[in-house]
Amino acid sequence: CSSLHSIDIPASVTTIGMGTFSGCSSLQSIVVPASVTTIGDQAFCWCSRLQSIEIPASVATIGDRAFAECSSLQSTDIPASVTTIWDQAFYRCSSLQSIEIPASVATIGDRAFANCKSLQSIALPASVTTIGKGAFYNCSSLQCYLIISSVLNVDSRAFRGCRNMQYIRQFE
């Protein structure tokens, strides 16, 4: 699918399966209909020209490595129906500058945002209770991290390699 530039997924689709668009290196834009509830593992992995994607509110599951290695992805919003950001979901999205994590998310998986070198700041909602191993590993542009007091389990390596980390705020 190296020549596929855009796709409009039909409204009859409910699941974007494992690896469906994996390696579509020319894919720049995609329209995900409100009928989709699941974005499977590695669904858009290695779509190196994908710049943005609007994930509809109907999506409850974003699988492991769903957007990993999407090096041109700059921003996306995670819908409020998602409770877990699975392992390596946005791994090595080197152009990702910002991401909105909704209050529904309780767990940020291992290496979920690792090597997102353009990610500058992140605010975690009070619902987040677990931050996995290397979740923000080597996010070298990350300058501040806002943590809410409800976070119970933060792996000791969650922020390893965040060389520009300036401060952590804890709210009661």
Q: Which residue range is the domain that position 35 belongs to? A: 1-172
- Here the CATH number for the domain that contains residue 144 is 3.80.10.10
Instruction: Please determine, for residue 24, whether its predicted confidence score (pLDDT) is greater than 90.
Output: yes
More confident site: 100 or 59 = 59
Domain tally, the chain = 1
pLDDT, mean of residues 97-117: 93
Q: Taking a C-beta distance cutoff of 8 angstroms, is the pair 58, 82 a contact?
A: no
Band of residue 154 on the pLDDT scale cut at 50, 70, 90: confident
Residue 20 Ramachandran class (φ > 0 left, ψ -120 to 50 alpha, else beta): alpha
pLDDT tens-digit map of 118-152: 999 887 888 888 999 999 999 999 887 766 666 67
Each as own residue / partner, the long-range contacts of residues 110-116 (CB below 8 Å, 24 or more positions apart, any chain) are 110/134, 110/135, 110/155, 111/87, 111/135, 111/137, 112/85, 112/86, 112/87, 112/88, 112/136, 113/89, 113/139, 114/88, 114/138, 114/139, 115/91, 115/139, 116/90, 116/91, 116/92
